[in-house]
C-alpha cells in the first residue's frame, strides 16, 4: 500500500509598482502576480534543505568522508536582495523599443532588455527588513509598523527608485546600460537574491546571454515611462 500526501504549500507573489510626482501624488500604478521561475523554485528547495549531515560510513567511494557528528554547511544561504528593471516583455507598448518576445514563464531566466540603475549599478538593493511581528520589541531590528511582514505568511520586499535612478545618461563607454537616457519605458522587473552582485548585468539581448544569476521571480507590465520628475516604489510580496 502506498501512502500519498496531497498537502501543497503554495508560494504566491504579488508586485505593486507606484510612480509619484515631486508632490507625492500617484501618477501611475501597476499591480499583478509574477511568475516564480525554475531558478526560483530550485532556490526554495535548496534554501529549506537540512543544514548539514552526519559523516557517511567509511568505504563509501562516492562521497567525501567527514567525521561523524560533523555538520556540513547548508546548500545555500542567499536571500532576496535586489530588484532589476528592463524595457522587455510582451507588454511593452512603445514601438520604438522594438519587438519583445519574453512572457511570464517559469522558463524565464533573465531580463529581456535590462536597463541599469546608474553607471555603477545594474540592480537596485532592497530596503532592509526588520524582525517579524510578533517579536521582542527590545530587539533593535524590530519592525514596529509591520511594513515588511503584513501577516504571518507574507514577506514583503521594498525598493525605492529616486528621480535620477534609471533616468540617467550613461557616460562614454557605458552606453549599453541605458539607450533611452532620461525617459525609460519600463515594462519588466525581476527579483534577485544576493547570489548575484548589483553591478552584474541581468541578461539581455546580446548573443550568448546566459541565465541571470540569482533571478528567482519575473513580472511584465504595461509600460511606465521613468523620468527624472518621478520616483518609483516597488512592493513585492511572497505569500506562503
What angle (nearest 5°) sits at the alpha carbon of residue 57, between those of residues 51 and 63? Answer: 65
Domain count, the chain: 1
Structural domain contains residue 83: yes
Domain, as residue range, for 154: 12-58+65-239
The pLDDT tens digits for 21-69 are 999 999 999 998 888 999 999 999 888 887 655 445 555 544 555 555 5
* Contact indicator for 17, 233 with CB cutoff of 8 Å: yes
pLDDT score, position 61: 47
Query: What's the burial of 163, exposed, middle or buried (CB within 10 Å: 0-12/13-18/19+)?
Result: middle
Reported as a pLDDT band with limits 50, 70 and 90, residue 10 is low
Query: What DSSP letter does each residue of 157-178 carry, written as one string?
Result: EEEEE-TTSS---PPTT-GGG-
The pLDDT tens digits for 93-147 are 987 887 788 999 999 999 999 999 999 999 999 999 888 877 777 888 888 888 8
- To the nearest whole number, what is the mean pLDDT of the chain? 85
Structural domain contains residue 114: yes
Calculate the CA 184 to chain-centre distance: 20
pLDDT at 11 > cutoff 90: no
pLDDT score, position 68: 55
DSSP code, position 47: H
Structural domain contains residue 112: yes
pLDDT at 9 > cutoff 60: no
As a whole number of angstroms, the distance between CA 130 and CA 145 comes to 10
As a whole number of angstroms, the distance between CA 75 and CA 46 comes to 6
Query: What's the burial of 121, exposed, middle or buried (CB within 10 Å: 0-12/13-18/19+)?
Result: middle
Structural domain contains residue 6: no
Radius of gyration of the chain (CA): 21
Structural domain contains residue 201: yes
Structural domain contains residue 224: yes
The pLDDT tens digits for 171-223 are 998 898 999 999 999 999 999 999 999 999 998 766 556 789 999 999 999 99
Residue owning grid cell 537616457? 181
pLDDT at 1 > cutoff 80: no
* Contact indicator for 101, 91 with CB cutoff of 8 Å: no
Number of helices followed by number of strands (H, E) in the chain: 1, 10
Structural domain contains residue 1: no
pLDDT score, position 204: 73
Structural domain contains residue 30: yes
DSSP H or E stretch at residue 138:
none
Q: What is the three-class DSSP state of 135?
A: coil
141 phi and psi angles, rounded to 5 deg: -95, 10
Amino acid at each position: 500500500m502506498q501512502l500519498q500526501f496531497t498537502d501543497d504549500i503554495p508560494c504566491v507573489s504579488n508586485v505593486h509598482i507606484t510612480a509619484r510626482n515631486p508632490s507625492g501624488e500617484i501618477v501611475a500604478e501597476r499591480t499583478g502576480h509574477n511568475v516564480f521561475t525554475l531558478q526560483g523554485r530550485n532556490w526554495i528547495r535548496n534554501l529549506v534543505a537540512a543544514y548539514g549531515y552526519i559523516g557517511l560510513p567509511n568505504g563509501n567511494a562516492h562521497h567525501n568522508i567527514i567525521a561523524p557528528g560533523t555538520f556540513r554547511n547548508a546548500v545555500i544561504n542567499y536571500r532576496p536582495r535586489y530588484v532589476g528593471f528592463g524595457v522587455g516583455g510582451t507588454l511593452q507598448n512603445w514601438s520604438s523599443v522594438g519587438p519583445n518576445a519574453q512572457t511570464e514563464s517559469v522558463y524565464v531566466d533573465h531580463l529581456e532588455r535590462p536597463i541599469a540603475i546608474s553607471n555603477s549599478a545594474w540592480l537596485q538593493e532592497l530596503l532592509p527588513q526588520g524582525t517579524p511581528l510578533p517579536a521582542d520589541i527590545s530587539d533593535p531590528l524590530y519592525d514596529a509598523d509591520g511594513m515588511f511582514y503584513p501577516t504571518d505568511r507574507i514577506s514583503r520586499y521594498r525598493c525605492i527608485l529616486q528621480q535620477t535612478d534609471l533616468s540617467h545618461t550613461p557616460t562614454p563607454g557605458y552606453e549599453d546600460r541605458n539607450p533611452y537616457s532620461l525617459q525609460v519605458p519600463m515594462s519588466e522587473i525581476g527579483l534577485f537574491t544576493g547570489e548575484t552582485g548589483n553591478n552584474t548585468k541581468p541578461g539581455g539581448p546580446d548573443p550568448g546571454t546566459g541565465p541571470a544569476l540569482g533571478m528567482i521571480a519575473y513580472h511584465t507590465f504595461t509600460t511606465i515611462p521613468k523620468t527624472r520628475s518621478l520616483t518609483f516604489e516597488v512592493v513585492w510580496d511572497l505569500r506562503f
